[in-house]
Structure formats: structure tokens, C-alpha cells
Amino acid sequence: MAGRSKEKEGGRRGRACVVVLGDIGRSPRMQYHALSLANQALLEVDIVACGGSEPHGALLANPSIHLYIMKQWPTARQNLPRILILLLKPLVQFFMLLWFLCVKIPSPDIFVVQNPPSVPTLMAVKWASWLRNSAFVVDWHNFGFTLLGLSLGRNSHFVSLYKWFEKHYGKLADASLCVTRAMQHELAQNWGINATVLYDQPPDFFHPASLEEMHKECL
């Protein structure tokens, strides 16, 4: 995710938005994207994500990176019937994402979104890219419909609908990244999506925790 410095008319620096509908602290690849966009492409970077784990200190200390934390789905609502959760949760998340992407953050030149989750993320980010005249880039980590199928079953109507949304909005991306050659091949052959393989090559500070570091975290 590196590139040249991008200056807009009037001297304004270019801007990117990294979107993760999940715990940003547990998304080292998306943290690395944000750092690369800020340090190598010299962009202002807004991260819209859910809280939970603490992001890396290098990200928090970077003056060009701005973190926006969305509220997560309340645990208490997990007691609702499953069918209501499957319908209500994506709807709430969709409007929450649109609020952050279209109102809370400055208008970006590019959105980079992690997939999965695909619903409602891809739809919300695509709509935001239309409204704000921004590029829309999907970073494919996995296929969301296959993960949903593990819990609902591959023949579930929800899984089929989820796959349709994932494929439809994935094909609307201006560019796609993926983590392996196998995923690149699957996207090209069966989804009609041309993705660029970007292997995980995080900086040195993203490494397995040492025994000393794990001991400190437990104190």
C-alpha cells in the first residue's frame, strides 16, 4: 500500500480511510495498511473500526493517523431470536457505517475496506464512495459467505443471499487486494474480480509476543 506523496489542489494532502467492521487491534494487516498509507504514501489516514484490543503504539503515535471507534453490537441483544439478529444487526451496522463514513470523517480520496465481514460492510463503503466521490478498494482476507456457512449450513438461504451481496458489491470495487494466489485465482475464475496479491509483510514490530511481553500483558 505504498505510493508517492499525493497533494490535492490548494496544497491539501491526500486522504485515505481504512474500514474494519471488527476489532482493529486484532487486524494487523489493516494496521499495516494504515501505517503504509501514512508513512510511505504520505496520506492523512482515518481508521473507522470497532474497539476491543489496543492498536499498536506505532499507529496510535502517528500524527497522520486518526482513529474513529464505532460501538459494537451490544452483547445483551444476543438473547434475541437468531432470525432477528441476522436481520437487525446488519441494518444497524449499515446506518452506523454510513454515519461515520459520510459525516464523521473528512472526505477521503480512497476507501480501503477489510472483507469479511461482507454484509453490510461492502455495501455501506460502496455507497459512501459514491456519495463522496472516492475510490473503493477491497482487501480480501477470506470469503464471508463460507464463514457464515460454518454456522448456518451451506444450504441456508441466508448464506446464499450473503454470497450474492458479497459478490455483487465486491465486483463494484475500483481495485481489489488479496492475501494468496489461490484466492486471486478463485476471485478471477468464479467471481469475475481481478485482484492483486499483497502478501502479509508486516513491519518488525508486528511479531509474536515474547514470554516477557506476554508476562507484562498479564500484570
Encode pLDDT of 167-217 as tens digits: 999 999 999 999 999 999 999 999 999 999 998 765 554 444 443 433 333
Sign of CA dihedral 106, 108, 112, 113: positive
Q: Which three cell numbers stand for residue 89?
A: 444487526
Residue ranges per structural domain of the chain: 9-218
The pLDDT tens digits of the residues spanning 152-166 come to 888 888 899 999 999
Q: Which residue has the cell 467471481?
A: 191
Task: Identify any residues that bridge with 70 across adjacent strands, giving them in sequence order.
Answer: 50
Per-residue pLDDT, 125: 97
pTM score, whole prediction: 0.82
Instruction: Please answer whether residues 127 and 165 qualify as being in contact, where contact means their C-beta atoms are separated by less than 8 angstroms.
Output: no
Topology, domain 9-218: Rossmann fold (3.40.50)
Distance of CA 147 to the CA centre of its chain: 16
